[in-house]
Amino acid sequence: MSSIADGQLVLIVEDNAKNLKLARDLLQYHGFRTLEAADAETGVELASSSTPDVILMDIELPGIDGVTALERLRANPATADMTVVAVTASVMPVDQERFAHAGFAGVIVKPIDVKAFPGQVLAYCRRSEDRS
Ligand code: MN
C-alpha cells in the first residue's frame, strides 16, 4: 500500500524532532503534503497563511501549549473553522475531556500507530471537506 491521500495538506505541530519526522514521512509516503512547525506560535502563523486541510497539534510544546494554540486559531476568522486534532500521550479521561471541551475534532494517541495513522488523518481531512 502506498498513496491513500490525494495531496491533502496536513500541518504538523510537534516539538519532538523524531515524532515530527515519523509523522511527516508516513504522511508523505501515503500521498499527503505536509507543513511543519516545532512550536505553537509558528503553527498558528502557518495555519493562517497556508490553510491546511487538517492540523495535527501536539499538546506539550515550548511556549504556548496546544490547547492555547487552538484558542488562538478559533479566535481568528481565517482559521476558526479548521479541523484541529490533538496528538498526545495522555489517555487520562480528565485530559480527554479537556481536549474535547477545548474544541479539538478528536485525539490521536502517541506513540502513533504507524499502520493506522495515515487512515486516521485522511478521515479527519474528509470531515473537513464535508464541512466546507
Ligand atoms: Mn511535545
- Residue 15: pLDDT above 60? yes
Q: Is residue 1 part of a domain?
A: no
CA distances from 7 to 102, 106, 125 (A): 28, 22, 11
What CATH number corresponds to the domain at position 103?
3.40.50.2300
Structural domain boundaries enclosing 43: 9-131
AA letter at 18: K
Stretch 31-56: mean pLDDT: 97
Q: Is residue 56 part of a domain?
A: yes
Count of domains for the chain? 1
**Alpha carbon of 63 to ligand 1 centroid (Å):** 11
**Alpha carbon of 123 to ligand 1 centroid (Å):** 23
Q: Is residue 33 part of a domain?
A: yes
**Alpha carbon of 33 to ligand 1 centroid (Å):** 22
Stretch 16-42: mean pLDDT: 98
Q: Is residue 3 part of a domain?
A: no
Percent of the chain beyond pLDDT 70? Answer: 98
Q: Is residue 4 part of a domain?
A: no
Question: So what's the pLDDT on residue 129?
Answer: 83
**Alpha carbon of 58 to ligand 1 centroid (Å):** 6
Q: Is residue 2 part of a domain?
A: no
Q: Is residue 76 part of a domain?
A: yes
70-113 pLDDT tens trace: 999 999 999 999 999 999 998 899 999 999 999 999 999 999 99
Q: Hey, CA dihedral for 109, 25, 124, 122, is it positive or negative?
A: negative
